[in-house]
C-alpha cells in the first residue's frame, strides 16, 4: 500500500518509490503538512508542524494550547489548505465569500477514504490509471461548519514513478449560495526557503526559456491572465536546493493540467517557511456555487527527485507518456509528415499541394498536412475564420479530390483548423456577431485580425462540431492540427448573466475541452497536434487531448535548442512538435539533429531544395525510423545546457534497459580549438558499448567517468554531430 493512515497518531503517509508525503490531523481537525521529500520509513515526526511566532500580531485562536510563543497559531503553522480570514495571514489557497458577505474561511477534517486507482475530474483533463494497481488515491473530506462549504482534498500517488497529483472538490452543503473567490489546486507549506525557483518564460518564437532565481521573503512566482497558459509563462515551476543542478540536489516539480489563466506562487514568510501553491488565477475569477452544486479544480502534478533537475524531468516524462497521453496514439508510432506552411503559406492550389505530396512520397515521408488557407476566402489572415467551408477555387474538385489523390500516392492526409477563432470578415460573424468574446459598449480588440469564439456557449460548440464534421466525417483524414492564434481580451459572454461573468475564463476552457473531447471521441483515429502560434498553449491540459504540440513557430535549429531544452524540464520528446525547415543558419545535418529531438517532420518547399540536400533528407528519414523508440520513450539526459554554456549544447537519450543510447552535440558559437571531453550519464557502468559510426567499444564506466574526447568532431558555428551506441556483444 502506498497510502497509510495511522489512526492513533492521525497521520497520513503517502509513499512513492523515492518520496514520502506526510500529513497530520491535529486535535482540532486542522490538516497539517509535516513533510515532503526523500522517502522515509518513519510515521512519528514530533514537532514537525510547530512554527514560532514572534509578535502579538500572530493571532491565537480558541484552539491554542496555551504556550504563547510556541503554541498554535494559523499564522505560522503548515497547512494543506491555507484558508483566508481566520488568523492565517499568508497568501490563501482557499477563499469563499459566503451569504453573509464576508470571506472568512475555515475547513476542518471530517473523514477520509483510501482506494485503489484514480478518479477522473468531470469536464477537465487529468492523469489516469491504466490499471488500478498503477496508483492509489486518498480523499480527505473537510468542512467549514459556519458556511457549510465542504472541501475534498484528492491525492493520487503513482508509487513507481515518485509522483503524485492533487486537486480539490468544493461542494455547497448549505442552504444558501456562496462564491468561490480563490481555490488553488494544492497548497504545501515547506519548512525552508533554501531553494531556487525555476520557471519557463518567453514570447512568441522564444518559448519556455529557463529562469532561475533564489527564493526571497515575500511572494514570487508566475501567472497567466491571457485566456491561455501562454507563451509568456508555462504552468510549471520547480524548486531546487541551493547549489543543486542537473544531477545533484533535491528538486520539486509542479505542473498544472490546465490551459487557461493560472497562478503558481511561493510565499516565503518571516519564519523562512515557503508556501507553494498552484491553480486557477484568482484575478478576474469567481464561481457562484448554489446549494448542492460542486466545483472541481484542475489537477496539479507534483514530482520529487533527489537526483537534481534531470531526475525530476525523467519522472515527468515517464509519467506523461504512460498516464497523460490517451487513445490510439498513446504508444503507436506517429507518421513522418511534411507540412506546407513554411513552403507556401496561403499561396497554394491543389496542384501545388500535390507536388509537395509527390515529393514527400518519393522521399519516404508518410503524411502530407495541409495548413491554413484551405477554407472560405482565405488568401491572407484577415478573413474567413469560422467559415470552415472548402475553398474550391484553390482546391478544384473539393477537398475530397485532393485527399483521394494524396491517398493514391500512399500517403496519409492531415488538415489545419483554428476552431476557437472567428474573423470579423466572415459569413459566420456577420450572421452571429454575438458569438465572439466581447463585453457591451466596448470596441472588440483584434489580434492577428481576428476575434475569439465564445466557447462558453453550447450553440457555438455545436456549430463548430457540426461544421468540422462535414469535413472530418466525409473524408479520410488522419491528422488535425488545432491552432489558437491570439489571447483573450474584453473577456465576456453575451449569454452569461451578470453575476456569472467572473466565471467566463474557466467556462471558456471547459468549452474548449468539451469540443476537443467530442472530436476525439467521434474520430478516435485522428492524431491531434496542439498549436498556439507555436508553443503558446503547451501544457498538460491540451496534451491530454492532443498527444503532441507544436513546440514553436521558430524552426531555426539554433534557436530551437534553447526552446527544446526548456520544454524538456517537464515535457517528454514524444510531445514536442519539431520539424526540419528551410531556415538558413545551419546545414540539414544540424537541422536534423535538433528536430530529431521531438516528433520530427518537415516544413519546406521541395522546389527550393538542392539535389544534394534531397539525398541528405532521405538518410534522415531512415534515421527517424531507426531511433524512434529510443528518442520518444528513452530517458533524456541534458549533458550541456544552454543556460550553463553559451557555446555548446549536448544531450543524450538512453533506453530504459540501458542497452542503447545516442548523444548529440551542437556548436552554437565557435570556440578556438581546445580539448573537449564529454561525460555520458545514465549508462550501465558494467556494460560495454559499441559506437555505430566508428566501431569503437567503450565501457559504460569509461563513458561516464572519463568521457569521450570529441576534439576531432565538428566545431564550427552551427555545426553538430550525433553518435549512436549499442551494447557490445563481443569485446574489442
Residues annotated as part of the active site: 483, 553
Cα–Cα distance measured from residue 147 to residue 83, given in angstroms and rounded to the nearest whole number = 13
CB 246 within 8 A of CB 308: yes
Q: What is the 3-state secondary structure (H, E, C) of 111-143?
A: EEEEEECCCCECCECCCCCCCHHHCEEEEEEEE
b/e 632-645 (16+ beta carbons within 10 angstroms → b): bbbbbbbbbbbeee
**Count of Cβ atoms closer than 10 Å to residue 396 Cβ:** 12
DSSP structure class, residue 248: S
Helix, strand and coil content of the chain, in percent to the nearest 5, comes to 20, 30, 45
Cα–Cα distance measured from residue 414 to residue 481, given in angstroms and rounded to the nearest whole number = 8
CB 174 within 8 A of CB 147: yes
CB 299 within 8 A of CB 318: no
The number of CA neighbours under 13 Å toward the Cβ of 678 is 23
In sign, the C-alpha dihedral spanning 104, 110, 113, 114 is positive
Cα–Cα distance measured from residue 669 to residue 678, given in angstroms and rounded to the nearest whole number = 17
Residue ranges of E strands in 270-344? 274-280, 287-289, 294-296, 299-305, 337-339
DSSP structure class, residue 370: E
Cell digits for 581?
525547415
CA dist 316 to 164, 351, 376, Å? 11, 44, 42
CB 298 within 8 A of CB 280: yes
Nearest to 538 by CA among 303, 294, 255, 344: 255
Burial of residue 558, with CB atoms counted within 10 A of its CB: 0-12 exposed, 13-18 middle, 19 or more buried? buried
Q: Mapping DSSP to helix (H, G, I), strand (E, B) and coil, where does residue 35 land?
A: strand
> Residue 113, by phi and psi: left (phi above 0), alpha (psi -120 to 50) or beta?
beta
Give counts: helices (H), strands (E), the chain: 12, 39
Non-local CB neighbours of 11 within 8 Å, separated by 6+ positions: 5, 22, 23, 24, 25, 34, 43, 45
Cα–Cα distance measured from residue 178 to residue 148, given in angstroms and rounded to the nearest whole number = 10
CB 570 within 8 A of CB 597: no
Cell digits for 714?
565538428
Nearest to 424 by CA among 395, 400, 453, 464: 453
C-alpha triplet 601, 607, 613: angle, nearest 5°: 60
> Residue 386, by phi and psi: left (phi above 0), alpha (psi -120 to 50) or beta?
left
CA dist 43 to 4, 11, 20, 165, 542, Å? 9, 7, 10, 21, 39
CA dist 438 to 500, 504, 631, Å? 15, 11, 44
CB 304 within 8 A of CB 519: no
Nearest to 124 by CA among 513, 537, 540, 548: 513
Amino acid at each position: 500500500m502506498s497510502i497509510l493512515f495511522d489512526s492513533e497518531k492521525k497521520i497520513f503517509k503517502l509513499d512513492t518509490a523515492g518520496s514520502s508525503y506526510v500529513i497530520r490531523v491535529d486535535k482540532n481537525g486542522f490538516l497539517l503538512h509535516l513533510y515532503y521529500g526523500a522517502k522515509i520509513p518513519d510515521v512519528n515526526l514530533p514537532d514537525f508542524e510547530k512554527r514560532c511566532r514572534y509578535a502579538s500580531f500572530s493571532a491565537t485562536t480558541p484552539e491554542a494550547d496555551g504556550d504563547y510563543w510556541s503554541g498554535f497559531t494559523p499564522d505560522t503553522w503548515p497547512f494543506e489548505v491555507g484558508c483566508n480570514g481566520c488568523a492565517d495571514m499568508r497568501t490563501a489557497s482557499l477563499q469563499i465569500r459566503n451569504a453573509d458577505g464576508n470571506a472568512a474561511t475555515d475547513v476542518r477534517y471530517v473523514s477520509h477514504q483510501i482506494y485503489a486507482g484514480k478518479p477522473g475530474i468531470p469536464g477537465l483533463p487529468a492523469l489516469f490509471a491504466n490499471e488500478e494497481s498503477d496508483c492509489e488515491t486518498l480523499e480527505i473530506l473537510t468542512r467549514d461548519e459556519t458556511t457549510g462549504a465542504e472541501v475534498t482534498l484528492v491525492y493520487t500517488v503513482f508509487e513507481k514513478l515518485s509522483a503524485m497529483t492533487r486537486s480539490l472538490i468544493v461542494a455547497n452543503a448549505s442552504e444558501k449560495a456562496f462564491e468561490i473567490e480563490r481555490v488553488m489546486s494544492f497548497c504545501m507549506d515547506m519548512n525552508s526557503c533554501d531553494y531556487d525557483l525555476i520557471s519557463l518564460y518567453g514570447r512568441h518564437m522564444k518559448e519556455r526559456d529557463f529562469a532561475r532565481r533564489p527564493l526571497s521573503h515575500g511572494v514570487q512566482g508566475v501567472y497567466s491572465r491571457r485566456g491561455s497558459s501562454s507563451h509568456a509563462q508555462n504552468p510549471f515551476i520547480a524548486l531546487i536546493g541551493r547549489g543543486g543542478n542537473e544531477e545533484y540536489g533535491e528538486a520539486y516539480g509542479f505542473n498544472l493540467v490546465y490551459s487557461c489563466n493560472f497562478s503558481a506562487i511561493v510565499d516565503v514568510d518571516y519564519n523562512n517557511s515557503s508556501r507553494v501553491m498552484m491553480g486557477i488565477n484568482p484575478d478576474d475569477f469567481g464561481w457562484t456555487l448554489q446549494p448542492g452544486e460542486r466545483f472541481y479544480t484542475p489537477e496539479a502534478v507534483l514530482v520529487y527527485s533527489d537526483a537534481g533537475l534531470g531526475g525530476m524531468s525523467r519522472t515527468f516524462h515517464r509519467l506523461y507518456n504512460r498516464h497523460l497521453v490517451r487513445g490510439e496514439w498513446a504508444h503507436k508510432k506517429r507518421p513522418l509528415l511534411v507540412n506546407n506552411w513554411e513552403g507556401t503559406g496561403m499561396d497554394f492550389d491543389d496542384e501545388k499541394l500535390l507536388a509537395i505530396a509527390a515529393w514527400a512520397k518519393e522521399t519516404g515521408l508518410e503524411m502530407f498536412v495541409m495548413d491554413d488557407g484551405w477554407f472560405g476566402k482565405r488568401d491572407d489572415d484577415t478573413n474567413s475564420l469560422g467559415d470552415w467551408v472548402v475553398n474550391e477555387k484553390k482546391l478544384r474538385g473539393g477537398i475530397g479530390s485532393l485527399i483521394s489523390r494524396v491517398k493514391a500516392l500512399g500517403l496519409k492526409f492531415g488538415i489545419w483548423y483554428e476552431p476557437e477563432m472567428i474573423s470579423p470578415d466572415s459569413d459566420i460573424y456577420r450572421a452571429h456577431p454575438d458569438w465572439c468574446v466581447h463585453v457591451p459598449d466596448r470596441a472588440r480588440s483584434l489580434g492577428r485580425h481576428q476575434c475569439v469564439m465564445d466557447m462558453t456557449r453550447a450553440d457555438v460548440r455545436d456549430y463548430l462540431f457540426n461544421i468540422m464534421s462535414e469535413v472530418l466525417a466525409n473524408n479520410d483524414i488522419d491528422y488535425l492540427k488545432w491552432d489558437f492564434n491570439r489571447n483573450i481580451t474584453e473577456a465576456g459572454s453575451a449569454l452569461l448573466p451578470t453575476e456569472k461573468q467572473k466565471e467566463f475564463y474557466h467556462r471558456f476552457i471547459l468549452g474548449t475541452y468539451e469540443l476537443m473531447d467530442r472530436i476525439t471521441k467521434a474520430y478516435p483515429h485522428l492524431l491531434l497536434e496542439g498549436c498556439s502560434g507555436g508553443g503558446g498553449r503547451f501544457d498538460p491540459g491540451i496534451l491530454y487531448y492532443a498527444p503532441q504540440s507544436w513546440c514553436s513557430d521558430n524552426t531555426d535549429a539554433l534557436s530551437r535548442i534553447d526552446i527544446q531544452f526548456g520544454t524538456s524540464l517537464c515535457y517528454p520528446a514524444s510531445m514536442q512538435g519539431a520539424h526540419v525547415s528551410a531556415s538558413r543558419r545551419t546545414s540539414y545535418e544540424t537541422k536534423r539533429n535538433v528536430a530529431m529531438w521531438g516528433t520530427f517532420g518537415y516544413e519546406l518547399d521541395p522546389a527550393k531544395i538542392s539535389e544534394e540536400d534531397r539525398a541528405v533528407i532521405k538518410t534522415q528519414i531512415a534515421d527517424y525510423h531507426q531511433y524512434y523508440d529510443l528518442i520518444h520513450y528513452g530517458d533524456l539526459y541534458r549533458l550541456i545546457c544552454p543556460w550553463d554554456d553559451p557555446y555548446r549544447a549536448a544531450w543524450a537519450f538512453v533506453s530504459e534497459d540501458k542497452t542503447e543510447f545516442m548523444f548529440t552535440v551542437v556548436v552554437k558559437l565557435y570556440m578556438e580549438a581546445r580539448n573537449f571531453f564529454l561525460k555520458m550519464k545514465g549508462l550501465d557502468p558494467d556494460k560495454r558499448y559499441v559506437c555505430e559510426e566508428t566501431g569503437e567499444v567503450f565501457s559504460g564506466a569509461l563513458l561516464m567517468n572519463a568521457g569521450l574526447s570529441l576534439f576531432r568532431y565538428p566545431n564550427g558555428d552551427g555545426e553538430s554531430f550525433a553518435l549512436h551506441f549499442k551494447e557490445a556483444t563481443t569485446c574489442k
